[in-house]
Amino acid sequence: MPRHLLSIRDLTRAEVEDLLALTDKCRRGGPGISGALKGKSVALIFDKPSTRTRLACEVACARLGASSVTINGADLQIGRGESLEDSGRVFSQFVDAVCWRTTEQERLTRFATAASIPVINMLSDFEHPCQILSDLAVLRRRFGQSAKIPIAFIGDGANNVSHSWLMAAARLSLDLRIAAPQGYEPRPDILENAREEAARTGATIMITNDPIKAARGARCLYSDVWVSMGQDGERESRVAKFRGYQINSGMLSVAAADAVVMHCLPAHRGEEITSEVMDGPQSIVFEQAQGRLYNAMAVLLWSSRERAEKGKSAAGKPGKKHKKKNKKGGKRK
């Protein structure tokens, strides 16, 4: 079976660490990176609009020597009734990996179940694992490999980025605070699972409706849009409810003196974050955006390596040995 990356939960702690190290290696370049996937082909499927993910994936393939096939999801036969399972089998005959930016997580799961190639979640309504892996690599370069810094996610606690942060925090023993308006906290099942794992790993998880409480002493203030794709009909009510959750100079003043500001973009300036903060000296938003490229390279290399190692392992398994018999039917000594 191929090694998919559909969720942070698909990775052990050691594998997360491996991916973060590989992301940094891709950033630095050198032997084993450029052209490492020469002769490979990667399908990039986009059911949703994309800027950073599309740029990251296409440039990552180019730097690794792989060819990329970018597909608008609406152009696929999936939209005309072909099953996700059949599509997974078909793609497996043509390309070596699939990176998919889609809607429901179930679409990824069903497609991946039938695929014999790695399938990578480049965003679903449920989770955004590669965004968080990329962000963690950026934070480690800033604060050190072993730093357990307080991270404050301010905004919609029930969105895909927040969910992935929860899973990553629990797995990696992080200090995560999520501040969201009442009714926009993380999904109860995800929060319960994260807290159970946090009890084993020593992670600290705070869920609050008070953004200042979450931001106080934090070394990273993290923001995302208040109105995600597909929620435009809720814009007016959401903006009204989230108004006190803007990352501005006042909120930044209660964070740690060396705090950085992150935003996974696109940003709606003047809503969840002010231009003063986003363009200010403590913002690493565009460094964070560039990090998506190195993470895309790392994930493609990792999935290719995992697949190759599994293939070698399967090929190397000893089969049954049949001893030759002599003419009399006895075993040859």
> Which residues 6+ apart lie within 8 Å of 18 measured at CB?
302
Contact of 155 with 226, CB cutoff 8 Å:
yes
195 assigned to active site: no
Q: Is 171 annotated in the active site?
A: no
Domains in the chain (CATH in brackets) are 8-127+292-307 (3.40.50.1370), 131-287 (3.40.50.1370)
Total-model pTM:
0.91
pLDDT digits (tens, 9 = 90+) for 166-219: 999 999 999 999 999 999 999 999 999 999 999 999 999 999 999 999 999 999
> Of the listed 26, 57, 130, 264, which one is catalytic?
264
Q: Is 4 a catalytic residue?
A: no
Active site residue 290: no
**Cβ distance 239 to 271 under 8 Å?**
yes
In this structure, how many other beta carbons lie within 10 angstroms of the beta carbon of residue 109?
Answer: 17
Q: At 30, is the pLDDT very low, low, confident or very high (cuts 50, 70, 90)?
A: confident
Q: Is 80 a catalytic residue?
A: no
Q: Is 187 a catalytic residue?
A: no
The per-residue pLDDT of the chain, averaged, comes to 92
Task: Out of 177, 224, 288, 307, pick the active-site residue.
Answer: 224
Residue 317, pLDDT above cutoff 60: no
159: left (phi over 0), alpha (psi -120 to 50) or beta: beta
Q: Which amino acid is at 93?
A: Q
pLDDT, one tens digit per residue, over 256-294 is 999 999 999 999 999 999 999 999 999 999 999 999 999
